[in-house]
A and B are shown apart, each in its own frame.
Chain A
Amino acid sequence: MAFTKIEDKYVSQKSHIKFHSSTPLEDIEANNYKAVSTVDASTGNVVFSVPMQSFEFEKALMQEHFNGKNFLSTKKNPKAKLIGKITNLGEVDFTKDGTYNGSFSGEMTIKGETQPITADGKITVKEGAFSLESTFDLTLTDYGIAFKKGKPSTNVAKTIEVTLIAEYAKQ
């Protein structure tokens, strides 16, 4: 049975998740500063919990659509979740200052739909704490988000780019 020593668990209460949708008609961006995350340095387990209503858009109407039933349905699904593992844990030394390239493999759950996901990231260790940065793509139809007509079908990209950064300290 896996036994996690408490001193191997790192917690992040400070993060920034941004998504970017780009079409010839419009660039759309939203920012979220309220995700909570943990990294277990001994097992490589990574977890992100993201409160969906904390995504902020420049335009109020866009934010309302994003939260609404046809898009993310955030009243019913207030949180998105990312769970997985650092797959090259042997190449990351959380006890030694430096920058390491990490590979991640796991599952993303958005709007109640769970899909496999892989991503590459950068882990910067400094004085017993570290930060994690990563950029990856999400395909909206994988999570049951599809627009058949109207402005969203032409102005929202089918694949959006997600950028995240989080700062961790020992629990």
Chain B
Amino acid sequence: MNKKKKKLILLVVIVGMTVAASIAAFMFFKPHRDVQSARTDLVISANELVNEYLSSADQANEKYLDEAGLSKILEVNGLVHSITEDYNNQMVVLIKSPGADAGVSCTFTIETNASAEALKVGQLVRIKGVIRSGAAYDEDLGLFEHVILDKSDVIK
């Protein structure tokens, strides 16, 4: 093997390793999906979404949940039932109709909290967020569980 060929192989190896390391670093430090700037997959009313889950949780999970947790981004319409705060100082807005068994519990972020604080109970609202789990009647809890939306913000 001549000197030129050896140099070329060495160069290819170095370039290859650099590319591999960059890809690894890129994946390792990959930022979280920005839910609010991502495209909405579906606009739906809170009642419709809850009813889909109550009639067939398996079908709804198949439709809305993603294997890697990158589940569907929804815009949910409905009435504000309550506005509370969680242990992470994030606002939580429950969208639920009077008389409905369950609603949609939307957790905001430090960046979007202000738009939740501006809401009033009883107000009609549209909230965008990523779905984490569905509504269900849980026999052990003896309660209806709400649909869960995270990374939420109000759509004006």
Q: Given A34-B105, A64-B70, A54–B138 Cβ distance below 8 Å?
A: no
Please report which residues of chain B, range 124-156, place their CB below 8 angstroms from some CB of chain A when the two chains form the complex: 132-134, 138, 140-143, 145, 148, 150
- Pick the contact of B132: A15, A54, A60, A69 (CB < 8 A): A54
Q: Given A34-B132, A64-B70, A66-B69, A9–B142 Cβ distance below 8 Å?
A: yes
Please count the residue pairs between chain A and chain B whose beta carbons lie under 8 angstroms apart in the complex.
92
Q: Are A61 and B30 in contact (CB under 8 A)?
A: yes
Asked if A11 is at the interface (CB within 8 A of a chain B CB), the reply is: yes
The size bracket of the interface on A is: 35 or more
Asked if B32 is at the interface (CB within 8 A of a chain A CB), the reply is: yes
Please report which residues of chain A, range 39-73, place their CB below 8 angstroms from some CB of chain B when the two chains form the complex: 47, 49, 51-54, 59-61, 63-64, 66-69, 73
Contact surface of A with B, Cβ cutoff 8 Å: 9, 11, 13-16, 31, 33-34, 36-38, 47, 49, 51-54, 59-61, 63-64, 66-69, 73-75, 78-79, 81, 83, 165
A-B pairs, 6 with minimum CB distance: A67-B69, A51-B133, A16-B87, A64-B68, A53-B132, A33-B86
